[in-house]
A and B are shown apart, each in its own frame.
Chain A
């Protein structure tokens, strides 16, 4: 069976510090991968998605970047965090080519102080 892991579960970082959140998927190959952010008001917004190693598409301009160094690894990064980067970050994957359903990780709660 397929599983998705995100870590850390919670993170408190000072403004201006760097960020690295990691997501890995097991039990499948060549998945589509996604990063979402859920702000305090509940809505989820798609930040990045990837259809393969080194292929990243950004949905919204922001202070964050994403990378996919391996087939089942997706990393969300920032060089200098802003207060507005606080939120709940969720990684998700979907199968290819039958890209019907997306499965989410348990999320990382990031608080920038």
Chain B
């Protein structure tokens, strides 16, 4: 079945770049997503990439997609303490943006 995997923790210093990695198994996924969750809150959609793209940039965020290796990454430039949160990678099922398989989430800790 479908599966999405992420490392559980990442710690960086303020001002450095953060790179959060994700691998997925379903090569038929149309879209791949990055969500952010702050403590006790819901999920905020950060960005998504269409499966026929290799890269997408949105301000401080850069998403890279390697379809051959089924690897997705999120790079946050100039990481700030406000970026501390859990970041979830997700892939769509049945071409539906709301039917998602999520990874376990990567907890990003930004130290001043």
Contacts and interface: CB of A to CB of B under 8 A. Distances in A.
A41 B104 contact: yes
B100 A46 contact: yes
Interface stretch (A64-72, A77-85, A103-111): A103-111
Contacts of B48: 100-101
Chain B binding site: helix, strand, loop or mixed by DSSP? strand
Contact of B98 (A42, A93, A105, A106): A93
State which size class the interface on B falls in: 20 to 34
Nearest to B47: A101
Interface residues of A, number: 25
Nearest to B31: A100
A44 interface: yes
A50 B35 CA distance: 22
Given A90-B42, A109-B40, A101 B102 contact: no
Interface of B: 31, 33, 35, 40-45, 48, 86, 88, 95-105
A-B pairs with lowest CB-CB distance, top 6: A94-B98, A102-B98, A104-B43, A44-B102, A104-B42, A106-B42
A101 B31 CA distance: 9
Given A42-B86, A43-B104, A100-B31, A107 B98 contact: no
A107 B45 contact: no
